[in-house]
Amino acid sequence: MYLLLGASGVGKTLLVKRLQKLCSKDGSRELGEPPPTLPTVGTNLTDLLIQKKITIRELGGCMGPIWPSYYGDCSAVLFMIDAANPTQISSSCVQLLSLLSAEQLASASVLILFNKIDLPCYMSLVEMKSLFRIQDIISCANQPITVVETSARDGTGLPDVLQWLRSTLKEPS
């Protein structure tokens, strides 16, 4: 089970819809216009066929206080941040540190996604890295952490997300 976490409105539901489209067998790799999304109340399960079937469980941002109750059967975590929303940075950082220190996720692989880089006001990875002190976080964490920049809207970085998902399948769990 893969967990997809992040504050409300960062783009988690759109990401899984886009990944589903990229993995679909209809032969079309064109993403087209972004489909509409609604805030996720509760959880949203999506199956993807990447070498084998994997399930991504998105937990709505509004479920933050009970995210830990889903850590148990999780082998990898995707943590999404809205790179165009400076007001969410500190709360996202606290959420990330708290999940990295959770005992049940001690051996999970972690992918951090800086999303919405299509917006003109987005903060670059260089800026985000210093605001987030991501290098310090990576060097202190027990988990292997990968960072990607994405736009679930226009598809930038989504092949990197699929590549990361594939790489987690190769690791012995």
Q: Closest by alpha carbon to 49, among 90, 78, 19, 86?
A: 19
- What lies within 8 Å, CB to CB, of 63 at 6+ separation is 42, 43
Please report, as residue ranges, which positions from 66 to 125 form the binding site for Mg ion (by CB under 5 A): none
**Smaller CB separation from ligand GTP, 40 or 46:** 40
**Smaller CB separation from ligand GTP, 17 or 100:** 17
- What lies within 8 Å, CB to CB, of 20 at 6+ separation is 46, 48
Query: Would the annotation count 85 as a binding residue?
Result: no
Query: Would the annotation count 10 as a binding residue?
Result: yes
b/e code 135-144 from CB counts within 10 Å (16+ = b)? eebbeebeee
Query: Would the annotation count 11 as a binding residue?
Result: yes
Query: Would the annotation count 146 as a binding residue?
Result: no
Sheet containing strand 43-50, strands side by side: 43-50, 52-59, 2-6, 76-82, 109-115, 145-149
**Smaller CB separation from Mg ion, 13 or 168:** 13
Contact residues toward ligand GTP (CB under 6 A) are 6, 8-14, 34, 37, 39-40, 60-61, 115-116, 118-119, 151-153
For residue 127, which phi and psi values (nearest 5 degrees)?
Answer: -65, -45
**Smaller CB separation from Mg ion, 12 or 116:** 12
Query: Shortest Cβ distance from residue 120 to ligand GTP (Å)?
Result: 10
Please report, as residue ranges, which positions from 38 to 67 form the binding site for Mg ion (by CB under 5 A): 40
The helix or strand, by DSSP H or E, that contains position 114, with its residue range, turns out to be strand 109-115
Q: What single-letter amino acid sits at 157?
A: G
Query: Would the annotation count 46 as a binding residue?
Result: no
Q: Are 103 and 110 in contact (CB under 8 A)?
A: no
Binds 96, which of Mg ion, ligand GTP, none (CB < 5 to 8 A, cut-off by type)? none
Which of 5, 7, 10, 13: binder of Mg ion (CB under 5 A)? 13
Chain contacts with Mg ion (rule: CB under 5 A) = 12-13, 40
List, as residue ranges, the binding site for GTP.
6-13, 61, 115-118
* Binding-site entries for Mg(2+): 13, 40
